[in-house]
């Protein structure tokens, strides 16, 4: 069994694989100050809810963009699984050349998504991830990570409106507004946020296609609000809610021979 963990600034995504089969998955809120035992009990309860067992020796791969949680995650793996996790980061084999001025600056989640998207498309692809930040990542026809763009996330923009504009309420984005010409404040904010991000996505993707020199790369969206925004865009071809989990599994498989050799050597 393999556990895959993607630790984001807002949400943590967890998947459990048996071979190529995804047995179960969860999306929970990231708690930066969680303790080792709190994390252990949380995962144990999630597993039990699906008839699964958190067993010693279960393999674990983690991508994490929250540095304060690294020691907690390492401690959880050692105490509750009796293994050291495989971390997505410098030195790991991804099978994807990274053409970035400083490859260490690229978020682990962005590389994971890029690996999964290229494995799926086998050609030029742009990944749009609607997370805490909205990220755009470009992969070439040859499977090279070329770089991308980062914009404020949808919920960051909502929170900024609430904080900076005294008379505007805090809103949650669950569904698209009935009309772009809204008749009340909350609907007006929803319309501005949703259709504003639709324009942002179509505009950035269009410019990326021009820079790539390929007018027809596949465009894949993922992340919590992907379905809502993607349905209104002209540029997104498909939504894959499991893109990050797939990427983590692919990277684990590419590093498994190295891990098995290391474990046999006792180091």
**Higher pLDDT residue, 224 or 259?**
224
| Residue among 38, 48, 47, 49 at smallest CA distance from 75 | 38
| Choice among 86-95, 141-150, 161-170 with the minimum mean pLDDT | 161-170
Predicted pLDDT at 221: 97
| Choice among 4-8, 104-108, 134-138, 213-217 with the minimum mean pLDDT | 213-217
| Choice among 20-24, 36-40, 188-192 with the minimum mean pLDDT | 188-192
Predicted pLDDT at 258: 58
* Cα gap 53→70, rounded to integer Å: 23
User: Does the domain formed by 103-246 have CATH 3.10.20.340?
Assistant: no
Q: Which of 34-38, 54-58, 153-157, 178-182 has the highest mean pLDDT?
A: 34-38
- Strand 2-7 with 11-18, pairing: antiparallel
Predicted pLDDT at 264: 53
Mean pLDDT of 189-200: 91
* Cα gap 252→6, rounded to integer Å: 13
Q: Where are the domains of the chain?
A: 2-87, 103-246
CATH number of this structure's domain 2-87 = 3.30.420.40
Q: Taking 80 as the threshold, does the pLDDT of residue 263 lie above it? A: no
The residue annotated as part of the active site, out of 109, 129, 137, 240, is: 109
Confidence at 224, pLDDT banded by 50, 70, 90: confident
Predicted pLDDT at 267: 42
Predicted pLDDT at 111: 96
**What's 52's DSSP letter?**
-
- pLDDT tens column, 52-109: 999 999 999 999 999 999 999 999 999 999 999 999 998 899 999 999 999 889 999 9
Q: Taking 70 as the threshold, does the pLDDT of residue 23 lie above it? A: yes
Could you give the angle at which helices 154-164 and 185-212 cross, rounded to 10 degrees?
Answer: 140
Q: What is the mean pLDDT of the chain?
A: 91
Predicted pLDDT at 266: 46
**Higher pLDDT residue, 244 or 265?**
244
109 is catalytic: yes
Confidence at 261, pLDDT banded by 50, 70, 90: low
H or E element at residue 245? helix 243-265
Sheet holding 218-223, edge to edge: 145-152, 133-139, 125-130, 218-223, 238-239
Give the pTM.
Answer: 0.89
| Inter-residue contact 36 to 94 (CB < 8 Å) | no
Tokens representing 88 are: 């997505």
Mean pLDDT of 129-144: 94
Q: Taking 50 as the threshold, does the pLDDT of residue 180 lie above it? A: yes
Q: Taking 90 as the threshold, does the pLDDT of residue 228 lie above it? A: no
């Amino acid at each position: 069994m393999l556990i895959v963990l993607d630790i984001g600034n807002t949400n943590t995504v967890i998947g459990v694989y048996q071979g190529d089969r995804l047995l179960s998955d969860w999306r929970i809120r990231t708690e930066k100050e969680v303790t080792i035992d709190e994390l252990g009990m949380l995962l144990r309860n999630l597993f039990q809810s699906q008839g699964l067992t958190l067993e010693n020796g279960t393999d674990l791969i983690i991508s994490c963009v929250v540095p304060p949680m690294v020691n907690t995650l390492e401690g959880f793996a050692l105490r509750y699984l009796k293994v050291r996790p495989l971390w997505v980061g410098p030195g790991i084999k991804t099978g994807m050349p990274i053409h970035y001025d400083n490859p260490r600056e690229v978020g682990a989640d962005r590389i994971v998504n890029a690996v999964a998207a290229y494995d799926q498309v086998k050609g030029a692809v742009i990944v749009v991830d609607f997370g805490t930040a909205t990220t755009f990542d470009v992969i070439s026809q040859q499977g090279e990570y070329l770089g991308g763009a980062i914009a404020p996330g949808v919920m960051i923009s909502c929170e900024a409106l609430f904080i900076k504009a005294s008379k505007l309420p805090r809103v949650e984005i669950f569904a698209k507004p009935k009309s772009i010409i809204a008749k009340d404040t909350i609907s007006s904010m929803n319309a501005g946020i949703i259709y504003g991000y639709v324009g942002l996505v179509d505009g950035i993707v269009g410019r990326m296609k021009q820079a790539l020199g390929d007018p027809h790369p596949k465009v894949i969206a993922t992340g919590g609000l992907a379905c809502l925004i993607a349905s209104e865009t002209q540029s997104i071809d498909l939504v894959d809610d499991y893109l990050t989990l797939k990427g983590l599994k692919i990277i684990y498989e590419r590093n498994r021979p190295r891990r098995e050799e290391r474990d046999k050597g006792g180091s």
